[in-house]
Amino acid sequence: MSSAKVRPALEFEGQPVKALKPTHCFTHPTSGVEARVWVGDCREILPRLPEIQRSELDLVFADPPFNWARAYDEWDDQMADHEYLDFTYDWLDLCAGGLKDTGSLWVNIPDDWAAEIVVHLKQRGMTMVNWCIWHYRFGQNTKGRFINSKVHVLYFSKHPTRRTWNPEPVLETSDRRAIYGDPRTESKRDGMPAGLRVPMDVWYGKFWGRVQGNNLERRHYHDNQLPEVYLERVIACSSNPGDLVLDPFLGSGTTGVMAHAMGRRFIGTEFSVQNAKNAVERMKAGPVREIGSTRGASTAIFETRRVSRQAKPPKGA
Ligand SMILES: C[S@@+](CC[C@H](N)C(=O)[O-])C[C@H]1O[C@@H](n2cnc3c(N)ncnc32)[C@H](O)[C@@H]1O
């Protein structure tokens, strides 16, 4: 099988390009991994990064503006549909082209644009691994249509078989253990630790709600912050310590915070000077919860027996 036929960005607007200096650059005090952040339009910055030109990225996580006329600090979030799609295809191609053969690309996107993105990435030869849903219970109230309570989490790999995949650190307590106390789950032979399973493709649970109000994670100045557990799952299962992670739409910095704390090298781009500055401060401060502190927890909706919601994490995970 051949790998994805995505054209790597080797030039910018037909011209050879020089590498750009990052706006912010710092290293983690204990792991020593480097994080770099550039301020500007990702479509202009990414083609100038040698890591992208040489296809060295292990993981890309992108949570772009949704074109919902949101009051981002500087970005104008109301393009004509065709302009927004051109913008989307441009950054998707840059990100996909910058991936290693073992790399993966995740996109957080609402109903409005998910279908177009899936079709585009498939046409570019990327492999769809999962079409996950991030489900939350606190959607915007509506009376004339159903209330939105999800965002799509599109998980694509560059190569059909050679992607980095680490299920162990993201395992959760199975419903069989949490709800039914079924003894068969304690002796199962699927290679996974007893009572644990790979999470399902609809993501929800404790700490998975939208970050708002007086939520412990909330950083002022940004109302589109993703939960830390979401990025912890993505980074843990699809990259390794020392790997190179990119977020082209850094926002309040959630991907950078988690990647940096988890010992991954990090590259971020952000259009707003202020958002980038706040994100860097947040990355230096680290996550609000210890990495791995929610590992093995149950997401069972109904628990009928007295079973611990928090299973022991698998050995070595
Ligand atoms: C939805 S938010 C990202 C939120 C982020 N995932 C978090 O958890 O905080 C999108 C961000 O992308 C930035 N942005 C919009 N267009 C951009 C572009 N062309 N290049 C770089 N950043 C951009 C916006 O300023 C905004 O901060």
Could you tell me if residue 175 is inside a domain?
no
Asked if residue 115 is part of any domain, the answer here is yes
Confidence at residue 8, expressed as pLDDT on a 0 to 100 scale: 47
In a domain, 297, yes or no: no
Residue 280 lies in a domain: yes
Q: What is the DSSP string of 2-16?
A: ----------BTTB-
pLDDT of residue 212: 76
**Could you tell me if the CB of 67 is within 6 A of ligand 1?**
no
Per the structure, the count of domains in the chain is 1
The Cα–Cα gap between 233 and 231 comes to 5
251 lines ligand 1 (CB under 6 A): yes
* Residue 1 confidence (pLDDT): 43
For ligand 1, mutation pick of 83, 226, 249 (most atoms within 8 Å of CB) = 249
Between CA 239 and CA 227 the distance in angstroms is 19
Given this model, what pLDDT does residue 317 score? 45
* Ligand 1 centroid – CA 271 distance (Å): 7
| CB 295, CB 171: distance < 8 Å | yes
Q: 71 CA to middle of ligand 1, Å?
A: 11
Strands lying side by side in the sheet with 296-298? 196-197, 172-173, 296-298
Report whether 225 contacts 211 (CB < 8 A).
yes
Please give the pLDDT value at position 303: 63
Neighbours of 149 (CB within 10 A): 15
Instruction: Please check whether residue 296 lies inside any domain of the structure.
Output: no
CA distance 82 to 295: 42
292 lies in some domain: no
Among protein residues, the one with the nearest Cα to ligand 1's atom 4 is: 251
In a domain, 183, yes or no: no
pLDDT, residue 282, reads 95
Range of the domain at 155: 26-164+201-286
Ligand 1: which atom is nearest the Cα of residue 248?
Answer: 21
pLDDT mean by block of 10 residues, the chain; 317 residues: 48 69 96 97 95 96 92 86 96 98 98 97 98 90 94 98 96 88 82 91 91 76 87 98 98 97 98 95 95 88 58 51
CATH number at residue 222: 3.40.50.150
What is the pLDDT at residue 4? Answer: 53
What predicted TM-score, i.e. pTM, was given to this entire model?
Answer: 0.91
The verdict on residue 240 lying in a domain is yes
- How many Cα atoms within 13 Å fall on the side-chain side of residue 71? 3
pLDDT score, position 176: 85
Residue nearest to atom 7 of ligand 1 (CA): 225
Looking at residue 187, its pLDDT comes to: 83
